[in-house]
């Protein structure tokens, strides 16, 4: 996505968004719906979540390679298992990051998620992206396509799958329910919309 050089955006800060690939659809939807033509998005591979130790360096490289010509850099990653190392990069590079430990929290609302998480430690969460990519982001990385017998070991301490839905899509709901059945978990659908992601971008814009 490129900047719109039209006069209507001339007075706005030019903002580079460094985003997780798992959020690309949601970020682009918000940009389009709100006409934030002064924002440009660069996404990193969603598969980085399988190796969170690589996220900080990948974000640093993206900031340094992409920031020229922009007034601000916003990083659309939660901590995502980096143990605070991503925040160190954000501070050193003079960028800003959306608040939260993971995307489940900022879709739900960080405060709301923190409250419910105290009683939902046996819940396995999916977002729209993870429902669409259930096979490639959950089943295959865990080896369940090759060894389905491992399911009960991996999910022994879970009792339900909670689908945190960004959109009201009946097809995705059916896929999420099928995912719950495949994992042997009870199913719960919870509509969150875009949560704090929309709020964070709206304030920046």
61-77 tens-digit pLDDT? 999 999 999 999 999 99
Strand 123-126 relative to strand 160-165, pairing: parallel
Nearest to 7 by CA among 51, 48, 37, 52: 37
Q: What is the DSSP letter of 5?
A: -
Please tell me the distance from the alpha carbon of residue 76 to that of residue 86, in angstroms, as a whole number.
11
Global pTM reads 0.89
Quickly state the pLDDT bin for 11 (edges 50, 70, 90). low
**Delimiting residues of CATH 3.40.50 domain(s) in the chain:** 7-97
Q: State pLDDT tens for residues 120-149.
A: 889 999 999 999 999 999 999 999 999 999
The answer regarding whether domain 7-97 maps to CATH 3.90.550 reads no
Quickly state the pLDDT bin for 10 (edges 50, 70, 90). low
Quickly state the pLDDT bin for 116 (edges 50, 70, 90). confident
Cα-to-chain-centroid distance, residue 145? 24
């Amino acid at each position: 996505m490129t900047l719109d050089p039209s006069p209507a955006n001339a007075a706005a800060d030019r903002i580079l968004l460094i985003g997780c690939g798992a959020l690309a659809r949601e970020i682009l939807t918000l940009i389009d719906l709100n006409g934030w033509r002064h924002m440009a998005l660069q996404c990193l591979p969603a598969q980085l979540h399988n190796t969170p130790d690589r996220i900080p360096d990948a974000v640093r490289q993206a900031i340094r390679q992409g920031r020229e010509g922009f007034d601000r850099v916003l990083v659309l990653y939660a901590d995502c298992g980096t143990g605070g190392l991503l925040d160190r990069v954000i501070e050193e590079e003079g960028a800003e990051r959306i608040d939260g430990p993971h995307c489940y929290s900022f879709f739900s609302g960080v405060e709301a998620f923190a409250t419910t998480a105290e009683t939902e430690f046996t819940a396995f969460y999916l977002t729209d992206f993870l429902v669409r990519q259930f096979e490639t982001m959950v089943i295959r990385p865990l080896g369940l396509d090759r060894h389905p017998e491992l399911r009960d070991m991996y999910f022994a301490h879970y009792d339900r799958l909670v689908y945190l839905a960004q959109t009201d899509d009946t097809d995705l709901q059916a896929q999420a329910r099928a995912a719950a059945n495949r994992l042997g978990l009870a199913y719960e659908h919870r509509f969150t919309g875009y949560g704090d992601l929309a709020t964070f971008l709206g304030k920046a814009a």
